[in-house]
């Protein structure tokens, strides 16, 4: 008899993640169906418990980085101009505008290094088609 398990996946926020999760889980013996939703950030897996286990499926998703929480800067809600604290780096654009009445913009020149610019579960080194 098949079982269905639902995993909450806070990092599953794009279609490329859905495709990667489906690829990872569909390759496991005993998996019958995989439903992954970036809108609801859940993965439903229907599987044969005599062939695989919920723990094995959970381990695969966890090793790929989909079960952990998104780590990023936490905004304080205070504008950076308050109390001169250099550690206070993150604030909302609206706070900046309300404080300074100036628009703040950022630019960055990034040279291609052959790898992702940030940690994105499911993606490794980017290859140039000419290298293949």
Pick the CATH number of 3-63 from 2.30.30.40, 3.40.50.2020, 3.30.70.100, 3.30.830.10: 3.30.70.100
pLDDT digits (tens, 9 = 90+) for 76-122: 555 555 555 554 454 444 555 556 666 656 666 666 666 555 556 65
User: Can you give the pLDDT at residue 69?
Assistant: 77
Q: Residue 88 has what pLDDT?
A: 47
Q: How far apart are CA 8 and CA 53, in angstroms?
A: 17
Structure tokens at 10: 């806070």
Q: How many CB atoms lie within 10 A of CB 64?
A: 19
pLDDT band at 11 (very low <50, low <70, confident <90, very high): confident
Q: Please write the tens of the pLDDT for every residue from 31-84.
A: 999 999 998 999 999 999 999 999 999 999 999 989 987 665 555 555 555 555
Hey, how many other C-beta atoms are within 10 angstroms of the C-beta on 56? 14
Domain ranges within the chain, ordered by starting residue: 3-63
**In sequence order, what are the beta bridge partners of 35?**
44
Q: Which helix (H) or strand (E) holds 55?
A: helix 54-63
């Amino acid at each position: 008899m098949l079982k269905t398990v639902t995993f909450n996946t806070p990092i599953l926020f794009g279609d490329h993640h859905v495709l990667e999760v489906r690829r990872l889980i569909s390759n496991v013996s005993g998996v019958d169906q995989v439903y992954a939703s970036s809108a609801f950030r859940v993965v439903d897996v229907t599987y044969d418990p005599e062939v695989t286990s919920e723990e094995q499926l959970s381990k695969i998703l966890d090793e790929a980085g989909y079960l952990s929480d998104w780590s990023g800067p936490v905004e304080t809600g205070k504008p950076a101009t308050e109390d001169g604290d250099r550690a206070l780096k993150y604030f909302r654009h609206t706070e900046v505008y309300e404080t300074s009445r100036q628009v703040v913009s950022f630019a960055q020149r990034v040279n291609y290094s052959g790898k992702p610019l940030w940690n994105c579960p499911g993606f490794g080194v980017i290859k140039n088609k000419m290298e293949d």
